[in-house]
């Protein structure tokens, strides 16, 4: 009943984004240095792995479960729904067409440029964060915080930090920890202003970005590398304690493309 009341209270406040810090239930951070896997392509069991990240539509796994939420772009396959139901919340190019992520052309950038739009996006995707809590996850990671860098100047870092802080208030109000995803170089701001608790990084060794995350979160960083000299990365004393090599498609073990290594 207590959990149900918490969820109802958060849902009622999603539109305002005002969840008092004093009302936040306790939240648990992931264990530092724990064995880790990134399973956005589908969940599976992996012996000895304690921390597992899966999509919000999947079941939680491991003894500490991280829920993936695409907080700044549309999910693949959901772009038309956003265009039909919330057309003004999708960022447009100068010709008026939806602006897609060049690396993921089936994902449209969400328009975080005004307070009203950020409030409405937070209300819509805050329900996904709520589903992570009711589904049994321990934390959320909010992807594509760096969408502003692909917006042609239409969005700013400040816009996205403000929206990130709204997501963090929802997560914390539900007892979930929240992870920074992307935005290397701004981790201290994102910790202090948005309220992120730890980081899930991609290829921070390859791009020499790990130190920023490690410094901001006292080493509580879970890194996924997709290419590069993984043995050399593992031998580097400056690496995150929890670091893995995965195939870029995040396949399951039944797929010949599946790759998983841990230091």
Residue owning tokens 């939806």: 98
pLDDT tens digits for range 59-105: 999 999 999 999 999 999 999 999 999 999 999 999 999 999 999 99
Domain extent listing, the chain = 2-262
| Percent of the chain at pLDDT exceeding 70 | 92
Upper half-sphere CA count for residue 165 (Cβ side, 13 Å)? 18
Q: At residue 4, does pLDDT exceed 70?
A: no
- For residue 132, what is the DSSP state? H
The answer to whether 64 and 139 are in contact (CB under 8 A) is yes
Fold of 2-262: TIM Barrel (3.20.20)
Q: 91 Cβ partners below 8 Å, 6+ apart?
A: 98, 99, 108, 109, 110, 111, 113, 151, 154, 155
């Amino acid at each position: 009943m207590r959990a149900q009341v918490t969820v109802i209270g958060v849902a009622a406040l999603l539109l305002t984004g005002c969840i008092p810090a004093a009302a936040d239930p306790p939240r648990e951070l992931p264990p530092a240095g724990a064995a880790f896997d990134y399973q956005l392509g589908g969940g599976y069991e992996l012996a000895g792995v304690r921390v597992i990240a899966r999509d919000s539509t999947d079941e939680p796994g491991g003894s500490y479960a991280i829920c993936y939420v695409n907080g700044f772009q549309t999910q693949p396959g959901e772009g038309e729904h956003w265009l039909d139901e919330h057309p003004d919340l999708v960022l447009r190019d100068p010709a008026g067409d939806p602006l897609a992520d060049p690396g993921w052309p089936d994902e449209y950038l969400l328009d975080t440029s005004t307070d009203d739009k950020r409030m409405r996006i937070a209300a819509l995707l805050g329900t996904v964060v709520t589903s992570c809590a009711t589904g049994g996850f321990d934390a959320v990671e909010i992807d594509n915080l760096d969408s502003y860098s692909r917006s042609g100047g239409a969005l700013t870092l400040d816009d996205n930090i403000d929206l990130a802080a709204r997501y963090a208030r929802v997560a914390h109000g539900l007892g979930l920890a929240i992870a920074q995803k992307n935005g290397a170089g701004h981790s201290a701001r994102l910790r202090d202003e948005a309220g992120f608790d730890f980081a899930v990084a991609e290829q921070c060794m390859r791009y020499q970005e790990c130190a920023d995350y490690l410094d901001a979160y006292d080493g509580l960083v879970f890194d996924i590398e997709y290419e590069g000299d993984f043995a050399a990365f593992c031998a580097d004393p400056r690496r995150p304690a929890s670091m893995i090599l995965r195939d870029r498609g995040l396949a399951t073990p039944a797929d010949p493309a599946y790759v998983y290594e841990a230091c």
